[in-house]
Chains A and B, each alone.
Chain A
């Protein structure tokens, strides 16, 4: 059996990659993927803890997270399509006109 701490380390690495991706990458699609990575890192750690503690609560939360992530991406892609129609780019820096 793989120790829980391994899962935590792996998920922390995934989470950090996700955070860096959101902060560094400029393509909106890649930003969405990075957010997904963050959420899935959380899912991994939830499932690992749920197994360690023999409790089902963590696994229930994972289902909710997956559903919410799907809804979020659906809205995000719709907005992206709407922007692409007028601006013909998915680069978050070129989209940005509101400043202050």
Chain B
């Protein structure tokens, strides 16, 4: 065996990641020693400041690209764009939690650093160019999310959701690691570049590559659990329902986004084996779009409905990934941004309606919302339109880009399924809008709008509209961000 050599390290390429993780570690201590109980909001503001600093530190890296740690981590515009999306998701999830936690008497200062650690894990996944670092990123994200899911102690539903998520997450991790081990055995490397190199050395012959194919399938199963692709989605509605709502909001965009971003890199590395994974992903995407949207149809609990809807959206995003080499990656990035903002906004409205001791997630609680809180109802209607893909919202543009990219990439039948399921989805999204605007209130629900929540809903709403009305600047930015990816 060769001796262990310490490779040269360029920490500059990891600035946002290091700031987020370092700040979170410091914040854990600051929170314990300097922030008095009952004023834990200070920790929240400090955490948001940390995320903002990390975002600003990323700006000078826009024209930089390179890899470090022996090529295990890369920095390119793709990872940087995703980093910003994740930072926004983290900051908005903290903003909605500022008042949610004390109102539900579960205020613990650790919440904010934990969100930061999860964001760090997501950034690590976006920057990974090696299966080892990818695994570490997934686990950093997952383990913090297990804790956050069970954060509402002693509420049993929260603990139950936590343990369900943990068992299935660890189960998925087992598949993922075993898959990595087999890929390592077949190719002799864990780096994505090394795998791409191995696959392109000779024409891909499935019959000679059993070990590699089994390994790749196991890795795909691991991804399936994290992204909640059908049939690996069973945990999603339960976990979202049981976990504190800000955490569910964060999970619905965070885990999915980061895992899909990593999946895109992995499929690009396995481009030579496209004949193998394309049919698999196509079947998964079709099943995810159909089951996710049909599942949402029967839900009267809005939190569960959003859980199923997030499953369906993962299916649409997967379309972009399958054609990543031909414009799909751009569609993926745009859809991710649109979906992140819209979904966080919708969950923000849900949080406003949720009061201590009772969960106002029944669709009937939304009846007549327009009469009591017109602005809130208008915002919720906007988010529902965007999730349904009605113009002129961000969701429409996202779907438009993904479907055109997939169609150009020769996935016409999947686009057809996508369009049909979108039409089905419009029913359950618009049902909420009808309830809010055209029916009398059934029950006296008093939405509590606090400053953090107001800001979050406002930002998400405005961004959803701008992305829908003026997508051009963002599209240009997204196009530029894929220069280095070779997409």
Contacts and interface: CB of A to CB of B under 8 A. Distances in A.
Interface in B386-425: none
Contacts of A100: 237-238, 241, 299, 301, 304
- Central interface residue in B162, B173, B174, B299, by most chain A CB within 10 Å: B174
B163 A35 contact: no
Looking at chain A's contact residues, is the secondary structure mostly helix, strand, loop, or mixed? helix
A86 B157 CA distance: 11
22 contacts: A15-B178, A19-B174, A32-B167, A39-B173, A39-B174, A41-B178, A48-B185, A55-B188, A56-B1, A65-B135, A68-B135, A71-B143, A72-B139, A72-B166, A72-B169, A76-B167, A76-B170, A80-B163, A87-B156, A92-B167, A100-B238, A100-B241
Contact of A64 (B132, B178, B188): B132
Contacts of A92: 163, 167
Interface string B132-154: 10011001000100110010011
Nearest to B189: A57
Given A28-B163, A57-B189, A98-B242, 18 more contacts: A28-B167, A38-B171, A42-B180, A42-B181, A50-B184, A61-B135, A72-B166, A76-B163, A79-B146, A79-B166, A83-B156, A85-B154, A86-B154, A97-B157, A98-B161, A98-B238, A99-B238, A100-B304
Interface residues of A, number: 50
B222 to A, nearest CB: 11
B2 A56 contact: yes
B150 A49 contact: no
A96 B167 CA distance: 13
Given A56-B4, A83-B156, A95-B160, A49 B185 contact: yes
B156 to A, nearest CB: 5
B92 interface: no
B83 interface: no
Most buried by B among A11, A61, A79: A79
Interface residues of B, number: 46
Contacts of B157: 97-98
Nearest to A99: B238
B159 interface: yes
A73 to B, nearest CB: 8
Interface string A58-69: 101100110010
A22 B173 CA distance: 13
B177 A42 contact: yes
Contact of B171 (A35, A43, A54, A83): A35
A28 B165 CA distance: 13
Contacts of B163: 28, 76, 79-80, 83, 92, 95
A65 B181 CA distance: 11
A72 B163 CA distance: 11
A98 B171 contact: no
